[in-house]
Structure 1
Amino acid sequence: MCGFIGILLMTSGCTVAATDSHKSITSPDESLINTYWKLVMLDGTPVVTHENFREAHLVLHQEASRLAGATGCNTLMGTYRVENEQIAFGQIASTKMACPTAQMKTERDFLTALKQVTAWSVDGAKLILSGDNNEPLAAFEAVHLY
């Protein structure tokens, strides 16, 4: 009888451990606002950060609905407007430094995508910006700077 109770206690302990580890894997959604979002995918193509260049990213600052970031080559700035799951970017400006072809292509594609974005969704540490047909245009990962 003691053996049966011991096995029962061991198996129930394993079940609890498995349940607890599943809970620790699931993380809460990052905030859309005031989060550093690193660009990882543009129109279904992975974005590569080249050595000695800034990674493409954006931060939607709460104050004055201000957008700041980088294209992988140049710095970008502008404004945005969020209403529920809808998002629109206002006038976006960037510096005009010349970069190698790969970074310039990323910059062009990134700026084009931002003009076409109409919706957003956050799932954990992933941000997806989508267009009119709900097609993903750009994917980002949250980066914690400290």
Structure 2
Amino acid sequence: MAGYEYRSAPYLILRRDNTLQGFAGCNDISGTYLVRGDVLLFKRMIQTRLACFEGNELESLFLETLDNAELFTIEEETMTILDQNGEVLATFTGT
């Protein structure tokens, strides 16, 4: 079975219209997000379904992080995503 080669690190682009796009490690993702105060929820996430030789474990962790996201902080160009208990799940830096 043909597979897709690992191409880059996961990333997210959050747009002002509350849509997002990104790359999860193997597949492209898109969806919507909701922000209320310091609450951040990712919704209606869809992804391509490519078979990959690399990136599957990373993709699973990345998507699990987005599923568990509940809170966020932003300091300068760094966004930190936290779970409902305030535990850090991921940190993103802007470019």
TM-score calculated relative to the size of structure 2: 0.87
Corresponding residue of 2:21: 68
CA distance in 2, matches of 1:127, 1:100: 30
Q: Partner of 1:45 in structure 2?
A: none
Q: 2-side partners of 1:76 and 1:60: how far apart?
A: 12
4+ aligned runs moved over 6 Å, structure 1: none
Contact 2:9 2:23 in 1 (8 A): yes
2:40 aligns to what? Answer: 87
Q: What's the counterpart of residue 53 of structure 1?
A: 7
Which residue of 2 is the match for residue 121 of structure 1? 73
User: 1:80-128 deviations in whole A, cap 9, x for unaligned?
Assistant: 1001111111121110111124x10111111111011000111122111
More helix by share: 1
Matched, 1:137 2:80: no
Q: What value does the CA root-mean-square deviation take over the aligned residues? A: 1.5
Which structure has the bigger radius of gyration? 1
Please give the per-residue CA displacement for 1:23-43, whole angstroms capped at 9, x wherever unaligned: xxxxxxxxxxxxxxxxxxxxx
Alignment CA distance shift 1:120-1:114 (3 Å): same
1:111 and 2:58 correspond: no
Separation (CA, whole Å) in 1 of partners of 2:53 and 2:93: 24
Question: For the residues of structure 1 that align with 2:77 and 2:25, how far apart are their CA atoms?
Answer: 20
Separation in 2 of the partners of 1:120 and 1:98?
A: 32
Gapped regions of structure 1 (runs ≥ 5): 1-50
Name which structure has the greater RCO, CA cutoff 8 Å, separation 6+. Answer: 1
Helix, strand or coil: the match of 1:107?
Answer: helix
Q: Hey, which of these two has a bigger chunk of strand by percent? A: 2
State the AA in 2 paired with 1:99: C
Question: C-alpha distance in 2, partners of 1:138/1:86?
Answer: 15
